[in-house]
Amino acid sequence: MSKYMKNSYRYGTIATIIAMLVMLGIPAVICTYFGIWPDINSVFKVAGSLLALYVPIAVSEQLSLIPITGTTAYLNSITGNVMNIKFPCYLSALETAEAQPGTELADVMGMIAITISGMVTMVVIALGVLLLVPLEPLLTSDTVNTATSYILPALYGSMGISAFIGRSAGSYSVPRKPLVAVINLILVFAFIMLVGPIKNTGIAMIIMLVFSIVLSLILYKTNIIKMHKTEK
């Protein structure tokens, strides 16, 4: 392992611990100083539904993204906005640099992209706070409200299209790789049409993650999907 990778793991671990201490430590200190610790039953009563929704989502994101993003996962977890900002920036950087996930080049380029993305986000937020009042008529207009409702569908659509056209897997070429995404899509639509809307997205993501791995293994073992070493 190179010096860069070792330092990334070391400093990433230290930064994550510091971030957790800050995020959890400040509320703990305030609650202890003022003697306002909430009752545990009240916490679960209020946050139970939220935890049931977001804990599976967080677990599924970590299980699916860490093998792809490598050491940049440390920065992702600290700064947030992973799926809608950081991860698309990471994929764009890898595509531009023609780097394969899991390589040191991918880690370096991805770290640069995510760091700059975080800086840009802070600048945009600062400008948004400063210009909030002058731009209020524009931001509250019907045109902007309509446009913002399509941001997430457009974002996830652009991210998802790579699953249907991508045919690379590390240093291998997989011509029938999109077959897995197509089968997953058919299965999800069939569930929605026959059973009903998916209520717990996090649990659904974990189930589909496991299903995708098993499906990929079955298709590989049956020679439906074949892998070819990429020549460089």
DSSP string over 138-199: HHTSHHHHHHHTTHHHHHHHHHHHHHHH--EETTEE-TTTHHHHHHHHHHHHHHHHHT---S
pLDDT, mean of each 10-residue run, the chain (232 residues): 85 92 91 88 76 73 79 86 82 83 86 91 89 84 83 72 72 82 89 83 78 89 84 56
Q: What's the rounded Cα separation, in Å, for the pair 191 and 53?
A: 19
Predicted TM-score (pTM) of this structure = 0.64
- The pLDDT value given to residue 159: 67
- The pLDDT value given to residue 21: 92
Q: What's the rounded Cα separation, in Å, for the pair 86 and 35?
A: 38
132-158 pLDDT per residue, tens: 888 888 888 888 888 888 877 777 777
- The pLDDT value given to residue 26: 92
- The pLDDT value given to residue 53: 67
- The pLDDT value given to residue 202: 67
215-224 pLDDT per residue, tens: 989 998 998 8
